Amino acid sequence: MAPLNLVLKGTDFVLRSYSPAADLYQVRKLFSKDTCSREYAPDLLPQYATDVRFKPYILEGPMGVVAFVAIRNLSADTDTSNKRLVFVEAVRVREDVRGAGLGTELMSTVVDNVRAAHPEKQHLRILATTVFQNEPMRRVFQKTGWTSAATMLLWPSDKKVLQVINSTAPTLEALGVANMVSPDVFVLSKQWKEIRTPSEILAIIHYLRDSGSEYLRPDLFTVEGAIASSRFLCHELAKQEGRSVWRLTRGENPAGLLFVRPRVLDPAVTTLDCTVSACIDGVHEAESAVVFAASREELPYFRIIFDNGMTPDMIATSPMLSLCGCFPFLVYECTQ
């Protein structure tokens, strides 16, 4: 996107590409009070600026940088596909100018430019995420034609992750839930089996999708989400990051799928945590995933991202899961 001159609230601004050399200090200040470091990592901005999928921009005015936004372009099957997914992420407005409508104007401008950049695409989806508690951002989405598409849960809480990191005890003991694992859940945790082929991953995801679950994570989801997820092991970084995929079967039918990522080397991924992305629609299955992850030596600590098969109400029914807390965040889609 070429530099764009804007007049917002009677003041001249320019929306331009982020420059690590010129803008890093001011952009870091936009994130200085952000306690959710997993949501975005400003220290990685120099790397993101060179990633072809990731386009960061700043809004600059007479008083310097006042806002930041990033656009991540994810193709579907191939670059020639008529389908395209774009993520708008890491929107930040400087604290002293919040409430003046800059966030609303910025989002409207970004969406207009994304649409203009893909006039040939028959199916363009524009997604974004925000935490449930971020009411100002949710109002911006509402004003600019976005609707809530799904809720995802990040487990456990920041406090519990720090407990594990700072403890020498086994993970479940550090979390304080070792005595809450039922015999049935322990047995179930031993039934996760590794799978290695995209075709098997794809078949299981299709089954789970038909049951109401679907992967929505930015680094796994495209317009054809199942196809993108099935390629999780095919990425050139898969071996370096130690990725693996595991399935749980209930009777003859799939009951869960886990994407495990012990290390993050991909500069397009905005979290440095060990992550387990879970497509599960049952509480016992979710508990078994926790016990399974805790048994993996390559995961000294971890976060599990539960997609929309799991809900906060379901988490609340489990003493083990609820004790550690979960962090809900919302997936929004631009529908206008």
Domain ranges of the chain: 4-144, 152-329
Gap between the Cα atoms of 52 and 45, Å rounded = 13
Gap between the Cα atoms of 203 and 50, Å rounded = 35
Q: How confident is the model at residue 186 (pLDDT cuts 50, 70, 90)?
A: very high
Return the pLDDT at 162.
Answer: 87
Angle between helices 135-143 and 102-117 (to 10 degrees): 50
Q: Is the pLDDT of residue 177 over 90?
A: yes
Q: Look-up: residue for tokens 């049951």?
A: 211
* 3 state SS of 67: strand
Q: Is the pLDDT of residue 314 over 60?
A: yes
Instruction: Give 116's contacts (C-beta < 8 A, 6+ positions apart).
Output: none
- Count the Cβ atoms, other than its own, within 10 Å of residue 335: 10
Q: Is the pLDDT of residue 116 over 90?
A: no
Say whether 152-329 and 4-144 share the same fold.
yes
**Structure confidence by residue, pLDDT tens digits, 17-59:** 888 788 878 888 887 765 444 344 445 565 555 666 778 888 9
Q: How confident is the model at residue 180 (pLDDT cuts 50, 70, 90)?
A: very high
Gap between the Cα atoms of 41 and 51, Å rounded = 15
Phi-psi bin for 176: left (phi > 0), alpha (psi -120 to 50), beta? left
Q: Is the pLDDT of residue 79 over 80?
A: no
Gap between the Cα atoms of 75 and 301, Å rounded = 32
Provide the mean pLDDT of the chain. Answer: 81
Higher pLDDT, 308 or 259: 259
Say what the pTM is: 0.71
- How many residues does the structure list for the chain? 336
Average pLDDT estimate for 166-190: 95
| Helix locations, the chain, DSSP H | 20-30, 45-48, 102-117, 135-143, 158-165, 171-175, 183-189, 198-210, 225-230, 238-241, 283-294, 312-316, 319-324
Share of the chain above pLDDT 70, in %: 81
Higher pLDDT, 227 or 267: 227
Gap between the Cα atoms of 309 and 279, Å rounded = 7
Higher pLDDT, 311 or 226: 311
Q: Look-up: residue for tokens 């304080």?
A: 176
Q: Is the pLDDT of residue 223 over 50?
A: no
4-144, CATH topology level? Aminopeptidase (3.40.630)
Cα dist. 299→220, 271, 316 in Å? 20, 15, 25
Strands (E) across 145-302 are located at: 146-155, 193-195, 244-250, 253-261, 275-280
Return the pLDDT at 170.
Answer: 94
Return the pLDDT at 316.
Answer: 94
Six token digits for residue 147: 């609707």
- Count the Cβ atoms, other than its own, within 10 Å of residue 165: 10
Return the pLDDT at 77.
Answer: 42
Q: Which amino acid is at 257?
A: L
Handedness of CA 268, 201, 305, 336 (dihedral sign): positive
Average pLDDT estimate for 271-286: 81
152-329, CATH topology level? Aminopeptidase (3.40.630)
Return the pLDDT at 22.
Answer: 85
